[in-house]
Amino acid sequence: MHDISEYLAKNKERFINELIQLLKIPSVSADPAYSQDVINASEAVKASLLEAGCDTAEICETNGYPIVYGEKIINPELPTILVYGHYDVQPADPIDLWNSPPFEPVIKPTALHPEGAIFARGACDDKGQMYMHVKALEFMVKTNQLPCNVKFMIEGEEEVGSENLGTFVAENKEKLANDIILISDTGMIANNVPSITTGLRGLSYVEVEVTGPNRDLHSGLYGGAVANPINVLTKMIAALHNENNHITIPGFYDKVEDISKEERAEMAKAPFSLENYKKALDINAVYGEKGYTTNERNSIRPTLDVNGIWGGYTGAGAKTVIASKAFAKISMRLVPHQDWKEITELFKTHFESLATDGVTVKVTPHHGGQGYVTPIDNNAYKAASKAYETTFGKTPIPQRSGGSIPIVSLFEKELKSKTILMGFGLDSDAIHSPNEHFGVWNYLKGIETIPYFYQYFTKLSE
Ligand code: BES
Ligand code: MN
Ligand code: MN
C-alpha cells in the first residue's frame, strides 16, 4: 500500500467536497418532514458506491427508509468484508445553538482539530465515517489493490432504532454472507491515542405517562387536594436511584456481567484526565454510581437517564395550573448479558408499582437492543490493530464505549459474524448535539487506515 499518502494528497480536496455535498442533504429519519431528503441521501450513497468502483449497487426498499446495498466480488475464494453504516442523521434541534446552519457545512479549526473540522449534522455520526469507507474503496479499486471482496450495507433508520434492518438481514443471509463486519460509527480516545471500540451498550427506551384528574385544574382551588401528576412523576423518577446512585428496579443488576479486578485495572490504564473532562463540560464535579470510575460508569455499568420530561404550563410568564398529565422519556443503557426486553418488563412492573393514589401510570416501550463485546484475539482485531500501528505509529488501546448500535448483536445472531468497530471520531465531536463536527485529519486518517485493514485481514485469513 505504498501510494495511499500520494493518492490522498492528490484527492483530499475532492474527498472533502464530496462529503460536504452529502452533508447538505438533511436526512433526518425521525422527522417525516424530511422524508424526501432521506430518500435523496440513499440515492446519493448508491451513486457514490458505483462511482467508487462497486460492480453493483441497489436501493433495497423496506417498510421504512431504504437500505443501500453495493458489492464488489473479485474472487469467491477470498474473504468478504461487509461494511455497515448509516446515512440518516439525528434532528438538528435546538437549532438556535448552532454557530452555522446544520446543513450548510463549514470547515473551522478547533482546539482538538487545529487543521480544521467539518461542522454539520451527520459530519461524524455517521456520514463522515461511512464515507471514509467509500473513499477507501475508491482508492483500492482505482489503484488495483483491493485484496478481497467487499459488500456495503448502508441504512437510513439507525437513529430511529433500525426497525426494518432486522427483517432485511434475516431475509438476505446469503447476499450478506461475510467473514467480518466492519463499522466506523464510534470514536477513539484522542488523535494521538488511537483506540478500537471493543464494546457497545444495549438499550431500552421507554416513554411514561402519569395521569391525574381528567382535566387541567386551577392550582389554588384544587392544589394540595388532588395528586399533581408532575409532582408524582418527579417523585417516581427520583425513586429509581438510591443514595449511591444504584438503580432500584428489582432484578435490574441480576445478569450484569462481573468484571474482574484485573480487567478493571487493565481498563484504568487508558489515558484519562478527570480535570480535562470536567473542564470540557464546565462542571465542578462528576457524578454517578458509587464504587466506579467515570470511565467504568460510562462503559461497563448500566445506567438509567431521563431524556425528556414535559407537562403543564411551559410558556411565557406564569399560569397557575395543575396539569392532568405528565410525561417523560427514559433510556436505560445495558451491559452484556442484560436482556433488553426483560429489563423493559422489569422497568414497567416497578414503575407502575411506584404510582401513588390518585394517578394512573402508562409505560410504553419504544425500541431497544442488546449490547455487544468484540473479541480481541481474532484476526479482525489483529488486522485492525496492525492497520492503526501502520498509520498512527502506535498500538491502539481496546476500549469499551457507552453508546449503542443495537443491530450489531443481531448481525451476530443472523449472519454468525463478528464485528470490528474502527471509529475515528472524538467524544468532543458533539454527535447528537448542536455544532456536530468531524476533524478533517480524522476523516483522512480513516481513509488511510481502512485499506491496511483490508490488506492485513486478507493476509491473516489465508
Ligand atoms: N453512532 C452512534 C452510537 C455510538 C456513538 C456508539 C459513539 C459509540 C460511540 C449511533 O448512531 C447512535 O446514536 N445510537 C443510538 C442508539 C440508537 C438505537 C438510536 C445511541 O447510542 O443512543
Ligand atoms: Mn451512528
Ligand atoms: Mn447517532
Q: What is the mean pLDDT of residues 207-225?
A: 98
DSSP 90: -
Tell me, yes or no, whether 135 lies in a domain. Answer: yes
Q: How far is the CA of 203 from the centre of ligand 1 (A)?
A: 10
Q: Which of 325, 351, 369 is the last residue of a domain?
A: 369
Residues 110 and 216 in one domain: no
Residues 121 and 250 in one domain: no
Tell me, yes or no, whether 295 lies in a domain. Answer: no
Residues 12 and 155 in one domain: yes
Tell me, yes or no, whether 282 lies in a domain. Answer: no
Residue 34, SS3 per DSSP:
helix
The ligand 1 atom at the shortest distance from the C-alpha of residue 401 is 8
- The closest residue, in CA terms, to atom 16 on ligand 1 is 404
Residues 92 and 26 in one domain: yes
> Rounded to whole angstroms, how far apart are CA atoms 101 and 131?
21
pLDDT at 428 over 80: yes
Residues 402 and 449 in one domain: yes
DSSP 89: B
Residues 219 and 119 in one domain: no
Tell me, what CATH number does 235's domain have?
A: 3.30.70.360
Residues 73 and 221 in one domain: no
Tell me, yes or no, whether 85 lies in a domain. Answer: yes
Residue 231, SS3 per DSSP:
helix
For 270-287, the pLDDT digits (tens) are: 999 999 999 999 999 999
Query: What share of residues in the chain are helix, strand, coil (percent, to 5)?
Result: 35, 25, 45
Per-residue confidence (pLDDT) for residue 261, from 0 to 100: 93
Nearest residue to 209 (alpha-carbon basis) of 323, 364, 77? 364
Residues 324 and 423 in one domain: no
Residues 41 and 162 in one domain: yes
Tell me, what CATH number does 14's domain have?
A: 3.40.630.10
Contact 156, 66 (CB under 8 A): yes
Residues 138 and 57 in one domain: yes
Q: What is the mean pLDDT of residues 109-114?
A: 97
For 442-455, the pLDDT digits (tens) are: 999 999 999 999 99
> Rounded to whole angstroms, how far apart are CA atoms 190 and 193?
5
Give the structural domain span for 334: 202-256+302-369
Per-residue confidence (pLDDT) for residue 1, from 0 to 100: 67
Q: Which of 330, 349, 369 is the last residue of a domain?
A: 369
Residues recorded for the chain: 462
Q: What is the mean pLDDT of residues 53-77?
A: 98
Tell me, yes or no, whether 296 lies in a domain. Answer: no
The ligand 1 atom at the shortest distance from the C-alpha of residue 406 is 18
Residues 94 and 65 in one domain: yes
> Rounded to whole angstroms, how far apart are CA atoms 420 and 437?
23
Q: How would DSSP label each residue in 317-379?
A: S---EE-SEEEEEEEEEE-TT--HHHHHHHHHHHHHHT--TT-EEEEEEEEEE--EE--SSSH
Extended strands (E) in 191-348: 195-200, 202-211, 217-218, 303-311, 321-322, 325-334
- The closest residue, in CA terms, to atom 18 on ligand 1 is 161
DSSP 26: -
Q: How far is the CA of 228 from the centre of ligand 2 (A)?
A: 39
Mutation to probe ligand 1, out of 88, 121, 158, 420 (largest number of atoms < 8 A from CB):
158
44: cell is 446519493
429: preceding bond cis by omega (within 30 degrees): no
Q: How far is the CA of 158 from the centre of ligand 1 (A)?
A: 8
Contact 374, 418 (CB under 8 A): yes
Tell me, yes or no, whether 263 lies in a domain. Answer: no
The secondary structure element, H or E, covering residue 14 is helix 4-23
List, in sequence order, every residue forming a beta bridge with 306; answer none if it has no partner: 330
The total of structural domains in the chain comes to 2
Q: How far is the CA of 417 from the centre of ligand 2 (A)?
A: 20
AA identity, residue 274: L
For 373-408, the pLDDT digits (tens) are: 999 999 999 999 999 999 999 999 999 999 999 999
Tell me, yes or no, whether 426 lies in a domain. Answer: yes
Per-residue confidence (pLDDT) for residue 3, from 0 to 100: 86
pLDDT at 258 over 90: no
Measuring from each residue's beta carbon to the nearest atom of ligand 1, which residues come in under 6 Å?
125-126, 158-159, 161, 185-187, 200, 203, 367, 401, 403-406
pTM: 0.94
Q: What percent of the chain has pLDDT over 90?
A: 97
Q: How far is the CA of 197 from the centre of ligand 2 (A)?
A: 13
pLDDT at 84 over 80: yes
* Chain centroid offset of residue 59 CA: 23
Q: What is the mean pLDDT of residues 198-211?
A: 97
427: cell is 467524544
Per-residue confidence (pLDDT) for residue 352, from 0 to 100: 98
Tell me, yes or no, whether 43 lies in a domain. Answer: yes
For 297-355, the pLDDT digits (tens) are: 999 999 999 999 999 999 999 999 999 999 999 999 999 999 999 999 999 999 999 99
Q: Which ligand is nearest to the CA of 401?
A: 1
The ligand 1 atom at the shortest distance from the C-alpha of residue 201 is 21
Per-residue confidence (pLDDT) for residue 75, from 0 to 100: 98
pLDDT at 2 over 80: no
- The closest residue, in CA terms, to atom 20 on ligand 1 is 404
Residues 115 and 191 in one domain: yes
Q: What is the mean pLDDT of residues 170-196?
A: 98
Q: Which of 351, 369, 387 is the last residue of a domain?
A: 369
